[in-house]
């Protein structure tokens, strides 16, 4: 496990350095300036130069980058060009919303993905297996915004079971909080459910064909013990790997889903900042996204090492 963690950390360091450098280079490449955002078309060259001097944008590029990088490592993401607000605070409020939705979508993906995958593997080559595989293929090609609109029409407008839009913090009640994030989470989870189910089904079917499973059957072990002791542990690796790659998709899909459900989340904040040309806010979004994705993949790697014997051997 320690070797696996060290490998992940060693990968994270250069990825983070490259990601932050590219992120910071966005301002120079975009040609945007806080002067144009604050003054609009009335900005004169003298006024632009004055404001850029106040923001320190007239310094050499590498000097700006190292100052910004040092602030990022201390948790200071700067202030917004748009309203001068602290970006870390703005991102925190939006991240709570997005992580609530993405977290519930991940739970739905794990529960239903593992359930369908195990059932398909247990009934492999039967009509149940074919039906589950076909259904997983069908939901995998459904865009989240189409699913979200359909869910709103059916369960919010027609049946009135869930609110159609908005977000309520958990402090105001767990039930109302869960009601507001359920439909967005379901809309985001379809792709995760399908990929986890198909990968788990393939991994379990391959594990059933291994010699150690045949030996366990010959020794007279019960089917339940064979499945949980040998098949599941050795066959769930691909599904866990796919699960690690799905987290960035959940964060990216939040942009569209939050727009449909009117949620002031991480994705909506990123989209609004990009449309306004608020470069520091966009840079903060990208940095936090990189950190979240790497941390989540680190957790997945830890689970892989603990659960699957092949990963523990570095295979």
* Average pLDDT rounded to a whole number, residues 238-258: 75
Residues 6+ apart with CB under 8 A from 139: 190, 191, 193, 194
Using CA atoms, how far apart are residues 156 and 198, in angstroms rounded to an integer? 30
In the predicted structure, residue 49 carries a pLDDT above the cut 60:
yes
* Mean pLDDT within 181-203: 86
Max CA distance (Å), the chain? 86
308: confidence class by pLDDT, cuts 50, 70, 90 = low
Region 181-187 average pLDDT: 87
Residue bearing the bigger pLDDT, 195 or 266: 195
pLDDT number for residue 315:
44
Question: Which tokens is 110 given?
Answer: 């794990």
- Reduce the secondary structure of 79-134 to three states and give it as a string: ECCCCCCEHHHHHHHHHHHHHHHHHHHHHHHHHHHHHHHHHHHHCCCCHHHHHHHH
* Residue 210 pLDDT: 73
Q: For the chain, percent helix, then strand, then coil, each to nearest 5?
A: 80, 0, 20
- The token pair at 287 is 């940095």
Nearest to residue 273, comparing CAs of 148, 257, 265? 265
Report d(CA 121, CA 106) in Å as an integer: 22
| pLDDT value, residue 313 | 47
Q: Cα 71 to chain center, whole Å? A: 25
């Amino acid at each position: 496990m320690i070797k696996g963690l060290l490998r992940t950390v060693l990968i994270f360091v250069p990825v983070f350095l490259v990601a932050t450098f590219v992120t910071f280079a966005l301002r120079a490449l975009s040609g945007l300036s806080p002067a144009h955002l604050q003054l609009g078309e009335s900005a004169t060259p003298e006024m632009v130069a004055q404001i850029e001097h106040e923001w320190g944008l007239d310094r050499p590029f590498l000097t700006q980058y190292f100052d910004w990088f040092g602030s990022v490592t201390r948790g200071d993401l700067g202030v917004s060009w748009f309203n001068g607000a602290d970006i870390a605070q703005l991102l925190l409020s939006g991240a709570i919303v997005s992580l609530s939705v993405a977290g519930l979508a991940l739970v739905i993906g794990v529960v239903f993905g593992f359930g369908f995958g195990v059932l398909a593997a247990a009934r492999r080559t039967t009509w149940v297996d074919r039906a589950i595989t076909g259904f997983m293929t069908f939901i995998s090609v459904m865009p989240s915004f189409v699913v979200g609109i359909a869910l709103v029409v059916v369960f919010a407008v027609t049946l009135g079971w869930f609110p159609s839009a908005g977000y309520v913090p958990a402090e105001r009640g767990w039930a109302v909080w869960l009601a507001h994030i359920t439909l967005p989470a379901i809309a985001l989870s379809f792709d995760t459910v399908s990929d986890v189910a198909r990968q788990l089904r393939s991994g379990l079917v391959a594990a059933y064909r291994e010699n150690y499973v045949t030996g366990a059957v010959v020794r007279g072990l019960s089917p339940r013990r064979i499945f949980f002791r040998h098949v599941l542990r050795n066959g769930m690796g691909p599904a866990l790997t796919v699960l690690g790659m799905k987290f960035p998709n959940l964060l990216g899909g939040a942009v569209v889903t939050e727009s449909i459900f009117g949620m002031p989340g991480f994705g909506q904040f990123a989209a609004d900042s990009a449309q306004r040309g608020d470069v520091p806010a966009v840079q903060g979004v990208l940095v936090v996204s990189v950190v979240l994705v790497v941390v989540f993949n680190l957790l997945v790697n830890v689970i892989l090492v603990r659960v699957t014997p092949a990963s523990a051997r570095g295979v």
